[in-house]
Structure 1
Amino acid sequence: MPFVALRVFGHEPVEITADWGLRDLRQGMAYTLCNSLQCQECGALFLDFRFTDEQMAALYHNYRDEQYNAQRMRFEPGYVNVIPHYHQRAAYLDDVEAWLAPHLPESPMVLDWGGDSGINSLFRKRNRLLHIHDISGVELVPGAERIDLEQIGQQQYDLVTCSQVLEHVSYPLEVVRSMLPALGSETLLYLEVPHEALVREHPGSLELAPLKRHWHEHVNFFSEVALHRLLERQGLVLVDVLRLPVDVGWSRGEVMGVLARRA
């Protein structure tokens, strides 16, 4: 999508017109192209661009601040209707907390990996400690504390969460691997991703690549099998799976969460 191409590569879409005087190229809009790919073992759907750390930092720099929003609305005018919802806590998180609560202390010690400002951190109002590790650099909600990668592993946590992150990153396996130092023998890991409509509508299909014709911020679409394989490759054991319908104000969908721990 042109907004992502601009933030990551500096590419602007261009219109090929008759004034170009080209003999063989057709007139029309030219956009940044990529290829859709699907793992034939686990069903994960992704694209052939894997952004570097610098490109990821450019894409998410000052995430959803005024400049970000203005730049995005230039390409996606309808985004103006989405902005207000990002300043509110997602209502479905109460259901996620209720699902997790039986596995945890009354006031858990929580690390939210990729938690942005902390507005959607689990147990934000009921914790002994809330650490957030995030690349965006936005201001945190009261009570949350930013933690650097070098500090991971120096604190014992009851719960490590990574919600709505793995669909954005170039190398999900490496991101989960970087969380491992934070996982003690009793620590629970909660990973949550969108259960994308394309995956839901074609359960078990390994032929999704031809159907995926544009990519935006979500550069990975996960099946449940893909999440299971992700855990297995890190030596983690599945505890439970959550599928939860969500209504985020501008669209309805479903989230998929997996709860895991060290073997």
Structure 2
Amino acid sequence: MTESQYTPPLPGRASTQCFCCHSTDLEREWAATSPFFAQRALCRHPQAIMLIKCLGCGTRYFDFSPTKDELDRLYAGYRRSEYFVQRNSFEPWYTRAVNDDLGAEVQMQMRRAVLRDALEEHGITKHFENILDHGGDKGQMLRELRAKTKAVYDISGVPPEEGVIALDQTQIKEIPWDLILSCHVLEHLPDPQSYLEELVALGRPGTIYFFEVPDESFRSFGLSASSLQKRWIGWLAKRIFAFKVFDFLSTACRVKLRVLPPLGFVALREHLSFFSTLGMSRLFQENQLKILSVKIRASGHICAVAMKAAAN
């Protein structure tokens, strides 16, 4: 692959207004495609890209829209051996323990407890007829729920847990769902709005929805929007060891301190959007959902409970 194959700019998302609240009051700062994402999904070198922040609702999202083929390459064999080895080679802090702990039972127990508490908070404790975990891996979130039918839809094709059936895209449209879960899906999507429209179409008036996304809020400094920042990221992109060092420092400060330091940057690895509670509320209101609650729960994630409203 020649250097010229890396030079065209990456395709952007519609960036004139926020996809959550439709505000046009937007700020932009320079971020980067991580070496792992750039190599695995894009087959090119890392480069500077724009990160957009909506001043209306606080949602952030990359001004970049990966294709289906690029996403398929990224998530092929997700978190399995080849995925881990490639990612660890660029991100030494992404250890085997980190990889294996994602979705591990200790975390799942806490997340299931949050789901139970969120439903009970709104008096939703009944025995369901049909529940669906959309994008739910093996359906681990369904383990403690009572239902006649527990189903999962997931593109990974992994075998579901005992008591859970795996359905395809056609089959999930044929069942009247009482409860639909979507956990850690929205942040991975280039078009959350279209996904949400499809998900709402699976329900009927009165269907309950539970959403879960990471809380990845942070503050950044004015330098992040400067031409100096773009040149700095471009310089780092040609020096992978230096990129690794500043990527680690930037990520540690952003995750642990909720601050992006001067000359720090956000690297695109998997998450294309960083949601806020207000942004999620506005997004759901646009999609025929009555919001029961949207807040940061004990798991540290933003969780939303909503109900499909009757059509006007």
User: Normalising by the residue count of structure 1, what TM-score does the alignment of the two structures yield?
Assistant: 0.79
Deviation, structure 1 residue 231: 0.7
- Residue 165 of structure 1: aligned partner: 185
* 8 Å Cα contact 2:217/2:276 also seen in 1: no
Deviation, structure 1 residue 209: 7.2
Once residues 255 and 162 of structure 1 are traced to their aligned partners in structure 2, the CA distance between those partners, rounded to angstroms, is 13
Query: CA 1:56/1:124 → structure 2, altered by over 3 Å: closer, same or farther?
Result: farther
Look up the SS of the partner of 1:160 in the other structure.
strand
- Write out aligned runs for 1:48-197 (5 A): 48-79=63-94, 80-86=96-102, 88-89=104-105, 90=107, 91-93=109-111, 94-101=113-120, 102-107=123-128, 109-119=130-140, 121-124=141-144, 126-197=146-217
The aligned amino acid for 1:146 is A
- Write out aligned runs for 1:194-205 (5 A): 194-198=214-218
Structure 2: state its 5+ residue gaps: 1-33, 226-259
Once residues 127 and 235 of structure 1 are traced to their aligned partners in structure 2, the CA distance between those partners, rounded to angstroms, is 25
Look up the SS of the partner of 2:115 in the other structure.
helix
Deviation, structure 1 residue 242: 3.6
* 8 Å Cα contact 1:2/1:75 also seen in 2: yes
Once residues 208 and 223 of structure 2 are traced to their aligned partners in structure 1, the CA distance between those partners, rounded to angstroms, is 32
Query: CA 1:98/1:40 → structure 2, altered by over 3 Å: closer, same or farther?
Result: closer
Write out per-residue CA displacement over residues 9-55 of structure 1, whole angstroms, 9 at most, x where no aligned residue. Answer: 0125xxxxxxxxxxxxxxxxxx3221111234332101111112222
Pick aligned residue for 1:214 from 267, 286, 296: 267
Structure 1: state its 5+ residue gaps: 13-30, 247-253
Task: Choose between structure 1 and 2: higher helix proportion.
Answer: 2
User: Normalising by the residue count of structure 2, what TM-score does the alignment of the two structures yield?
Assistant: 0.68
The aligned amino acid for 1:113 is H
The aligned amino acid for 2:212 is E
- Residue 28 of structure 2: aligned partner: none
Deviation, structure 1 residue 158: 1.6
* 8 Å Cα contact 1:45/1:208 also seen in 2: no
Percent identity reads 28
* 8 Å Cα contact 1:118/1:140 also seen in 2: yes
* 8 Å Cα contact 2:62/2:272 also seen in 1: yes
* 8 Å Cα contact 2:138/2:159 also seen in 1: yes
* 8 Å Cα contact 2:159/2:166 also seen in 1: no
Does residue 3 (structure 1) correspond to residue 23 (structure 2)? The answer is: no
Deviating beyond 6 angstroms after TM superposition, the runs of 4 or more aligned structure 1 residues are none
RMSD of aligned residue pairs (Cα, Å): 2.4
- Residue 249 of structure 1: aligned partner: none
Query: CA 1:144/1:209 → structure 2, altered by over 3 Å: closer, same or farther?
Result: farther
Does residue 227 (structure 1) correspond to residue 280 (structure 2)? The answer is: yes
